[in-house]
């Protein structure tokens, strides 16, 4: 099972297999990180536009996001748990919209996304409180059914977290 897992990770360019020497985790190149974040913008923005069509759906999604934010506050000192909850927060946005193709594609970004988040919070542990506040703003935009505000806040959220320029 370990060998198959290593082969899968190597196929996804997350691991380099070195004959007779083992394996090395491959850093995510800056260009690939930007590509991944652009896909997140497209998928999460599209999901929110779909959510905003229905007040009940938007409110339900926002309520669940608030519950996840509360869990994030409780995990602020456990960086691995926080990274999991960050993934759950953003994944819930896409899942709530009900687009099964977007859900599958978003799921395929998961490993890289979690790795980037873990690296970001490891590098700057003060980032966690800011991320929680930004998540609250994203949830408020969904609750208000304001897709434009969500898009603007998501761009700022991703750019400041990963120190990239997306637009």
Three-state DSSP state, 20: coil
pLDDT digit string (tens) for 74-95? 999 998 899 899 999 999 999 9
**What is the pTM for the complete model shown?**
0.84
CB 161 within 8 A of CB 90: no
pLDDT digit string (tens) for 21-30? 888 877 777 7
Q: How many CB atoms lie within 10 A of CB 94?
A: 24
| Cα within 13 Å of Cα(44), Cβ side | 30
What does residue 144 show for φ and ψ, rounded to 5 degrees?
Answer: -80, -5
CA distance 150 to 156: 10
Looking at residues 4-8, what average pLDDT do you find? Answer: 84
């Amino acid at each position: 099972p370990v060998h198959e897992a290593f082969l899968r990770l190597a196929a996804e360019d997350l691991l380099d297999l070195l004959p007779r020497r083992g394996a090395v985790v491959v850093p995510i190149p800056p260009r690939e990180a930007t590509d991944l974040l652009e896909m997140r913008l497209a998928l999460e923005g599209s999901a929110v536009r779909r959510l905003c069509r229905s007040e009940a759906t938007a409110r339900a999604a926002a309520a669940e996001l608030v519950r996840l934010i509360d869990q994030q506050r409780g995990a602020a000192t456990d960086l691995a748990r926080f990274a999991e909850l960050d993934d759950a927060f953003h994944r819930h946005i896409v899942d709530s919209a009900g687009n099964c193709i977007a859900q599958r594609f978003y799921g395929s970004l998961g490993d890289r996304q979690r790795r980037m988040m873990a690296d970001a919070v490891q590098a700057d542990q003060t980032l966690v409180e800011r991320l929680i506040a930004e998540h609250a703003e994203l949830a408020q935009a969904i609750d208000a059914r304001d897709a434009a505000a969500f898009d603007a806040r998501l761009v700022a959220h991703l750019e400041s977290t990963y120190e990239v320029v997306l637009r």
